[in-house]
Chains A and B, each alone.
Chain A
Amino acid sequence: MADSARTSTRPPALLTLVGLLTIAAMVAMPLLAGAPDAEHVADWVKFIGPFHPVVLHLPIGIVSLALVLEVAGIFSKNKPNTGAGSLVLGLGAASAVVAVIAGFLLYQGGSYEQTDVLGRHLWGGIIFASAAIVTFLAKAWTDAAGGGSWLYKLSLLGTSGVMAFSSHDGGTLSHGPDFLTKNAPAPIRKLLGLPVKEGKGKDGGAAKPVAEKVVYTDVVAPILENRCTSCHNADKVKGKLRMDTYELLVKGGKEGPAIEPGNAAKSNIIVRAELPRDDEESMPPDGKTPLNAQELAVIKWWLNSGADPAKTVADLKAPADILDAIAKLEPVSLKTGTAKTEAPGHEAPGHEAPHGTPAAGPDPDLKKTLAGFAKDFPGSLTFESQQSSAVTFTAVSLRGNLDDKTFEKLTPVLKHFVTADLSATKVTDKSVALLSGSENLRMIRLSETQVTDAAIETLITLPKLESVNLYGTAVTDAGVAKLAALPNLKRLYLWQTKVTPAGIDALKKKIPNCQIVTGA
Chain B
Amino acid sequence: MDPITERQFLVNRRYFFGRCANGIGLAALASLLGKESSFGSEPLLPQIAPKAKRVIYLFQNGAPSHVELFDHKPELVKRHGQPVPESMLAGKRFSTMTGNPSGKKLLGALEPFQARGKSGATVSDLLPYTAGIADELCFIKSLYTEQVNHAPAINFFLSGNQLPGRPTIGAWLSYGLGSLNDNLPTFVAMTSVNKNTTCGQIFYDFYWGSGFLPSRYQGVKLHPGLDPVLYLNNPSGVSPELRRRMLDGISQLNEKKLQDFGDPEIATRIAQYEMGYRMQTSVPELADISNEPKEVLDMYGPQVHQPGTFARNCLLARRLIERGTRFVQLMHAGWDQHRSLTTELYTQCVDTDQPSAALVKDLKMRGLLDDTLVIWGGEFGRTPFIQGDFNDRPNWGRDHHPYAFTVWMAGGGVKAGLTHGETDELGFNVVKDGVHVHDFQATLLHLLGLDHEKLTYKFQGRHFRLTDVHGKVVKAVLA
Contact = CB atoms under 8 A, between A and B. Distances in A.
Contacts of A385: 45-50, 449
B472 interface: yes
Interface of B: 43, 45-50, 178-184, 322-324, 364-367, 370, 449, 451, 453, 472-473
Contacts of A388: 49
Nearest to B296: A519
Given A354-B451, A396-B323, A493 B180 contact: no
Top 10 closest A-B pairs, CB basis? A396-B324, A397-B181, A469-B367, A493-B367, A519-B365, A378-B182, A495-B365, A386-B45, A385-B49, A385-B46
A278 B324 contact: no
15 contacts: A278-B473, A354-B451, A355-B48, A362-B45, A378-B181, A385-B45, A385-B46, A386-B46, A396-B323, A396-B324, A397-B324, A467-B367, A467-B370, A471-B367, A493-B366
B367 A384 contact: no
A386 B322 CA distance: 25
Interface of A: 278, 354-355, 362, 378-380, 382-388, 390, 394, 396-397, 399, 423-424, 443, 445, 447, 467, 469, 471, 491, 493, 495, 517-519
Given A396-B180, A397-B182, A469-B367, A383 B45 contact: yes
Contact of B367 (A396, A397, A491): A491
A519 B322 CA distance: 17
Nearest to A445: B367
B365 A354 contact: no
A255 to B, nearest CB: 23
Nearest to B452: A278
Contacts of A423: 322
Contacts of A517: 364-365, 367
Contacts of B451: 354
Chain B interface mostly: loop
B306 to A, nearest CB: 25
Contact of B366 (A278, A362, A384, A471): A471
B45 A495 contact: no
Contacts of A397: 180-184, 323-324
Given A278-B473, A354-B48, A397-B324, A495 B180 contact: no
B182 A471 contact: no
A445 B180 CA distance: 16
A445 B367 CA distance: 8
B365 A384 contact: no
A18 to B, nearest CB: 53
Contact of A394 (B180, B183, B453): B180
A272 B183 CA distance: 50
Contacts of A424: 322
A467 B369 CA distance: 12
A443 B369 CA distance: 13
Residue among B46, B47, B179, B370 with most chain A CB within 10 A = B370
Contacts of A390: 49
A424 B367 CA distance: 13
Residue among A362, A447, A519 with most chain B CB within 10 A = A519
Contacts of A384: 46, 49-50
Contacts of A387: 47-48
Given A385-B48, A495-B365, A379 B323 contact: no
Contact of A382 (B45, B323, B453): B45
A390 B47 CA distance: 13
A519 B178 CA distance: 32
A386 B47 contact: yes
Given A385-B45, A399-B323, A471-B366, 10 more contacts: A354-B48, A355-B48, A385-B47, A385-B50, A394-B324, A396-B181, A397-B323, A469-B367, A495-B365, A517-B367
Contact of A493 (B43, B365, B449): B365
A95 to B, nearest CB: 41
A250 to B, nearest CB: 34
A519 B295 CA distance: 11
A186 B131 CA distance: 77
A443 B324 contact: no
Contacts of B180: 379-380, 394, 396-397
Contacts of A469: 366-367
A317 B465 CA distance: 50
B196 to A, nearest CB: 35
Contacts of B472: 278
Contacts of B46: 384-386
Contacts of A493: 365-367
Contact of B324 (A379, A445, A447): A379
Nearest to A401: B183
Contacts of B370: 443, 467, 491
A356 to B, nearest CB: 13
A354 B49 CA distance: 11
A388 B365 CA distance: 30
Contact of A379 (B179, B364, B366, B367): B179
A383 B449 CA distance: 12
A379 B48 contact: no
